[in-house]
Amino acid sequence: MTAGRLELKRQTVDIVELVRGAVGTLDEELRQSGVRMRVHAQGRVEGSWDRLRLEQVIDNLLSNAVKYGKGQPVDLTVCTDGTTAKLVVRDQGVGIAPEDQERLFERFERVRLDRDVNGYGVGLWIVRRVVEAHGGRVSVESRLGEGASFTVLLPLRVPAPPGRNQETDKESCPPAVH
């Protein structure tokens, strides 16, 4: 991954199933922390993705939401516009200062507002690498003290080679729950 190469083993994957599975595996951690995860999805959202790599993405985003969410509910929204899958993970925790938001996707970077939070600062770096390897993008919206909302956009099919004319992403998914 550090060399910029990430081999994907694509197969048809339902990202809603992956999200529900990830929430299930965090059951004990959620119980201990008192965090309630709310999944908002209608039906299946299938695409040509690497199952294990997407599980990494979801696990890293959920783990961060639990770590930095200060025990508040976390909302996960999954939807599609027919060409792109959209996953939004929103917590109501400490938030991220605007000047720190972009650097969080770099290796060994993390928010240092809470000394009780452990980690090496590679989770969001992995998220970005995996999402971009799938032809997608990840972004964050946040304000200090108001939580954070991470959005992952993934093409449902293998993206066309660079240089071909591609449509822009239509975001017709319902807004994330606040």
CA distance 159 to 156: 8
Q: In this predicted structure, what is the pLDDT of residue 132?
A: 94
Q: In this predicted structure, what is the pLDDT of residue 137?
A: 96
Q: In this predicted structure, what is the pLDDT of residue 69?
A: 84
Strand (E) or helix (H) holding 37: strand 37-41
CA distance 85 to 4: 24
In 3-state terms, what secondary structure has residue 126? helix
Q: Is 137 exposed, middle or buried (0-12, 13-18, 19+ CB in 10 A)?
A: middle
Domains (range + CATH), the chain: 10-155 (3.30.565.10)
The closest alpha carbon to 91, from 111, 107, 108, belongs to 111
Mean pLDDT per 10-residue run, the chain (178 residues)? 70 97 88 89 95 96 88 94 96 86 64 52 84 95 92 88 49 52
CA distance 38 to 127: 21
Say how many CA atoms lie within 13 Å of 40 toward its Cβ: 18
Q: In this predicted structure, what is the pLDDT of residue 158?
A: 83
Question: Positive or negative, the Cα torsion across 137, 175, 76, 144?
Answer: positive
